Structures are given as C-alpha cells and as structure tokens.
Structure 1
Amino acid sequence: MNKIILESERLLLRPLSFDDLINIEKGTINLIKVHINQNAIFDFTKSAISKKIKKMEKVPKDIHEWYTYWLIVDKNTKSGIGFIGFKGTPDEGGHVEVGYSISCAYRKQGLMTEALSLLSNWASKNPDLKGITACKVLKTNTGSNRVLKNCNFKLASSSEEFNYYLLDIH
C-alpha cells in the first residue's frame, strides 16, 4: 500500500495496512507503529475490521486504501483516536459508502468533520466516484448526523429509525 498520509490542521489520516488490521483484530495494537488510544476501538469497530480483512484478502493491494480503515491521528498527542474508511471501491453507479468512529474523549470538537472532509477530498480525485453515501445512520446519533451535514452530505431518505445521506461528487 502506498504511504499516503492526509493532513489537516489538527489531524493526520493514515491508511492501516492489512497487518495493522490483523493486529487490531488480535488485540496486539502495540505492534502498530502509531499508538492507538484503546478507547478508540469499540466492539463494532473490531467487527468491521474483521469484515475488512476478509474483503482485503480478495482484492489487489493497490486498492486497499478503499477497503481499509484510515487511522485518525491527533497531531498534538500523535495518537490514533478513531477510524474512518470506505466499504470498497465505487460501485457500478459510482458510489461508495463511508463509515467512521472516534473515541468518546474526542467527540464534539469538530475532529470527525475534519477527518471526513479530508477523506472525501482524497476520494473525489477518483474519476469513477460520483458520490459518497452514509447509510443506516441512527436518527438518535445526533453527532454523526451533524458531521454529515457539516460535510455537505444531503439527507437522501429516511426510515423510522435511520437516515441515509449522499454527498454528490461530480
């Protein structure tokens, strides 16, 4: 995988390698070059990492950035505070779904908005990308709904329980 690092005022985004994901899954995060705040790894994050590992085993390494989690690194502490990533390359319609999480201690500071903006800008350079989706966002998750709106995602539809968002790229 390329040594891509995305940078904003307060954050670095670094795509995790296949081996990094394995280490998170096994609980051996001390083997990863960047310190990861243990509070950033939720049960659902571990579950998503297991799914990402299975997908990454089946795709060429040169597109792993589209399948892996990107570690959100706080530039001040030089510590991993969250994860963000896509669920693969753009589909036939040119859309890709994004997912993310951040340590509770780093919420309500605009950091996830910063991270999502960074990753969306990186992804927008792919000529096949027409839009980024955020599916099954719980209506009760006010933080995530706010992040998506702050990043110019539009509410595409909703159900009784979930909101579905879209960011048009081209």
Structure 2
Amino acid sequence: MLEIKAERLKLVALDARLAGLQSRAPEAFFEALGVQSEASWPPELMDKSAMDWCEEQLSAQPDAEGWYFWAFIWPGFMSGMDRLVGGGGFKGPPDQNGAVEIGYSMLVSFREQGLATEAVNALVEWAFSSGQVREVVAETLPHLIASQRVLEKTGFVETGSREEDGMKILRFALQREKAAA
C-alpha cells in the first residue's frame, strides 16, 4: 500500500481492490485498513457514485494509485485503535499542463482539529514531489468557509470563480514554485 506519514495522520492511497471494498463491503474495507469501524463513513461528498467512479478509474489505470482517493487515518486515536477520520485525493493523474485537482472531506466528529489542513499539506507535498505536478487546484462552494480556510492555510490562493447549474464555485490554486518558497 502507498502511504504518506504526516504529523498525526497516516494517509493510505486506495487501489482498485480497496476502492471496491469501500462501496460494497465497508466492514472488509475497515479491516483491510486496520481501522475501527466507522458508522458515519463515508464523509460528506463521497457518495456511492464517487466511490464507484474511483474504483472504475483505478481498475482501468492500476498504475495511477495515488492520483485518486486516499484514506486519512489517525493512528492510535484515543481508544488506542486507528480511526478513519476522512478522505481525499485527486481527480486523476496530472494533465498535460502538470495540474491536478484536489478534494477532501472529514467526518463531522473530526473537523476543526487541523486534520484536514495536515492531510492537504501531505497530499500537496506528495504531488509536487512526483516531479509531474506544476500546480494543484481546488474548487469549493462560497458557504464552505472551513474548506476555504484549509486551502488558505496550505498556501492556496483564490484565482476566480465559475457558475455551474446556477451555483457559484470558487477556484483556488497553488503552484509548485510558490509552495517551495
């Protein structure tokens, strides 16, 4: 398994097998990750169609592990058991311009503890260290202030907005040169 170690978190990249377990056999998914069962899994915005899409992408591109979903695990949380606290990752490998889009979501009980910021930092560092990524972009909704704060704390700057289905979407970006500075 592809892993990133952060200060308080371990991030595990899903492969096609883990992605399939996540949507079809959650208990087997938790067991495979070595984490406590989470009744509130998955976090917001990670619905069944997103999980199925992730599995399809990883099945079609097994060498793209790391460019899709990562599980955010808090090792030895208060109970001594590892806890699955959130997830996120990228919407695929870098495009021809060296850009990837990042997304993330935390379980409600693990928000406002700096864990999302820690996970986003770790994912951004991993992407830039690949040598394939020049820019990481993110989109969020105007009312998701906590998500915007995560992006700002990790060095992203707002670069504009767009409309989709009558809804305004804010766009943020972080370039490798600025992250290294």
Q: After TM superposition, is the score higher than 0.5?
A: yes
* Structure 1 residue aligned with 2:112: 108
Q: What amino acid is the match of 2:91?
A: K
Q: What amino acid is the match of 1:73?
A: I
Work out whether 1:166 is the aligned partner of 2:173: yes
What is the Cα deviation at residue 5 of structure 1? Answer: 1.6
Q: What amino acid is the match of 1:157?
A: G
**Deviating 4+ runs (over 4 angstroms):** none
- Mapped partners of 1:81, 1:138: distance in 2: 22
Work out whether 1:29 is the aligned partner of 2:26: yes
- Mapped partners of 1:157, 1:38: distance in 2: 37
* Structure 2 residue aligned with 1:41: 42
29-38 or 5-14: which moved more? 29-38
* Structure 2 residue aligned with 1:85: 89
What is the Cα deviation at residue 120 of structure 1? Answer: 0.7
The aligned runs of 1:114-125 (5 Å cut-off) are 114-125=118-129
- Mapped partners of 1:9, 1:81: distance in 2: 14
* Structure 2 residue aligned with 1:151: 154
Preserved contact between residue 139 and residue 162 of structure 1 (Cα < 8 Å): yes
| Aligned-residue identity in percent | 27
Preserved contact between residue 40 and residue 101 of structure 1 (Cα < 8 Å): no
- Mapped partners of 2:73, 2:156: distance in 1: 23
- Mapped partners of 1:9, 1:76: distance in 2: 13
What is the Cα deviation at residue 58 of structure 1? Answer: 1.9
CA RMSD in angstroms, aligned pairs only: 1.6
Deviation per CA, 1:79-136, whole angstroms, max 9, x where unpaired?
A: 111111111111011100011111000001110000000111111112221100102x
- Mapped partners of 1:43, 1:154: distance in 2: 24
> Counterpart of 1:39 in 2: which secondary structure?
coil
Preserved contact between residue 131 and residue 167 of structure 1 (Cα < 8 Å): yes
What is the Cα deviation at residue 40 of structure 1? Answer: 3.5
How many residues get paired?
Answer: 164
What is the Cα deviation at residue 38 of structure 1? Answer: 3.0
- Mapped partners of 1:144, 1:101: distance in 2: 9
Of residues 141, 165, 168, the one that matches 1:138 is 141
* Structure 2 residue aligned with 1:58: 60
What is the Cα deviation at residue 43 of structure 1? Answer: 6.2
> Counterpart of 2:96 in 1: which secondary structure?
coil
What is the Cα deviation at residue 6 of structure 1? Answer: 1.0
- Mapped partners of 2:53, 2:44: distance in 1: 13
